[in-house]
Amino acid sequence: MKRLAVFASGTGSNFQALVGAAASNDLQAEIALLVCDNLNAPVLEKAKQVGVPVFAFNPKEFDSKAEFEVSILEQLQFYNIDLIVLAGYMRLVGTTLLEAYPNKIINIHPSLLPSFPGKDAIGQAIRSGVKITGVTIHYVDQGMDTGPIIAQKAIAIEKDDTLSDVEAKIHQVEHSFYPEIIGKLVNRRFESETSVN
Q: Return the active site residues.
A: 109
Exposure on the CB side of residue 69, measured as CA atoms within 13 A: 15
The residues pairing with 153 across neighbouring beta strands, listed in sequence order, are: 135
Nearest to 110 by CA among 177, 60, 59: 177
Following CA atoms 156, 164, 56, 37 in sequence, which dihedral angle do they give, to the nearest 10 degrees?
A: 80
Contacts of 60 (CB under 8 A, 6+ apart): none
What secondary structure letter does DSSP report for 53? Answer: -
Q: How far apart, in whole angstroms, are the C-alpha atoms of residue 100 and residue 108?
A: 20
Beta strands in 57-103 (DSSP E): 83-86
What values do phi and psi take at 33, rounded to 5? -165, 140
